[in-house]
Amino acid sequence: MCLARPTARRLRWGLVALGFGLAAQAEEAAPSPEPAVRLIVGGELTGTLGPEDYGFFNDVDYQRNLLRLFRASLLAELRAGTRFALLGELRSDNLDTPQAYALYLRVRPLPAHALDVQLGRIPPVFGAFGRRRYGQDNPLIGSPLGYQYLTTVRPDAVPANADEMLAQRGEGWLTQYSVGSSAYDAGLPVVESMRWDTGIEVRVGEEPLEWSVAVTQGTLGNPRFSDDNGGKQVSTRLAWYPTPGLQLGGSFALGEYLSDDVERLLAQPGPFRQQAFGLDVEYSWGRFLVRSETIVGHWEMPAIDAPRIDGPLDVVTVFVEGRYRAAPGLDLAARVDRLAFGNITGSNGSETWDAPVTRVEAAVGYALHRHVQVKAAYQYNWRDGGSVHSQGMLAGQLRVWF
């Protein structure tokens, strides 16, 4: 699913070299006095400890779990005048080899106007939650189901029929299908918030109206550094700020998710795409902050053997969260979350293609210091399927940043 390490490393350094080269050109072309070159560096350490998640409700890619995660991040921004900036984030989870979570060049061709172009491993366009900082902007510990929970859809393997898919309900953390890769592997979330996609993004406007559009290598559920199917994703979002404290957003994304290795095995011609529409709202007043997002979408799936999977695999996810600042440094927060799936028909009748999931979570956060915060959260999950149908978990988190 990824480039070999040497190739990926060369491409990453290529982006870095491109950014520094353009920055240098900007300096040479600028009239005297030359614009200042400025380097800004920051970092964050976040440690989360919770019980064993026997239902894998909080699993993300690479067999990590959000309730048992240590994350170290180093962020840097190199500015060259008002037109160019190179931004990046190096991240290590559970002391693994650091990876470039973000690395992109931002160009502002008309500094006096609200227009910028971003190239590289870029911030997501779709939705609102994916653009938040992992620890800083999340009032709870867990992530919304639509941005984290692993479904039974895979980009490198597909079920031969509806019965094979229904047998995997609730087991998205480790699935196996007969067409494509035979290995056991995790499925895709609706939107992957732990990795950013690679491509180009254009953003126009600012409050009260802002529009963004991006063309990227992967899809919402499977961001990629290298392309695996020759297709591209187009995503867009329109944000409106009608009054102070109120933000409304609408998003759309369409991209090919199934790899060429699988499509070559199919008699049915592709491409097979993931499509999604999103609505998000945020409202703050006084000590209160309320956010909500709804995503409606589907994955197109090949119809191979009987009983065939006729039509796309539909999905709907909704969450509502709120935060109340009870006192300086003390936050109370809660989130209610639902992930639902459409029906397919197997030998034993119609059933949802994956097991619907509901989650509630409540948290208390307290700032011990200007740059130190602790959180405690209780989360309860339940679903209609899988080896574990329900589980409640208490977790704690410590976050330090500079």
Whichever domain contains 165, its CATH number is 2.40.160
**Quick one: DSSP state of residue 169?**
T
69: nearest Cα among 93, 45, 89, 91: 93
Q: Tell me, what amino acid is at 30? A: A
Residue 140 lies in a domain: yes
Q: Is the pTM of this model over 0.75?
A: yes
17: nearest Cα among 86, 94, 90: 86
CB 168 within 8 A of CB 229: no
Q: What percent of the chain has pLDDT over 90?
A: 83
Mean pLDDT of 383-401: 96
Residue 245 lies in a domain: yes
Q: Tell me, what amino acid is at 167? A: A
Residue 5 lies in a domain: no
Residue 95 lies in a domain: no
Residue 354 lies in a domain: yes
Residue 20 lies in a domain: no
Residue 111 lies in a domain: yes
Read off the pLDDT of residues 350-368 as tens digits, 9 standing for 90 and up.
999 999 999 999 999 999 9
Range(s) of the domain holding residue 207: 39-71+104-401
Read off the pLDDT of residues 75-94 as tens digits, 9 standing for 90 and up.
999 999 889 999 999 999 99
Q: Residue 135 — very low, low, confident or very high, per pLDDT cuts 50/70/90?
A: low
155: nearest Cα among 36, 315, 2: 2
Strands 179-180 and 59-60: unpaired
Residue 319 lies in a domain: yes
Read off the pLDDT of residues 248-294 as tens digits, 9 standing for 90 and up.
999 999 999 999 999 999 988 889 999 999 999 999 999 999 999 99
> What's the number of domains the chain is made of?
1
CA atoms within 13 A on the CB side of 125: 32
Burial label for 11, CB within 10 Å (0-12, 13-18, 19+), is middle
Return the pLDDT at 1: 40
Read off the pLDDT of residues 136-192 as tens digits, 9 standing for 90 and up.
789 999 999 999 999 999 999 999 999 999 999 999 999 999 999 999 999 999 999
Alpha-carbon gap, residue 243 to 386, rounded angstroms:
45
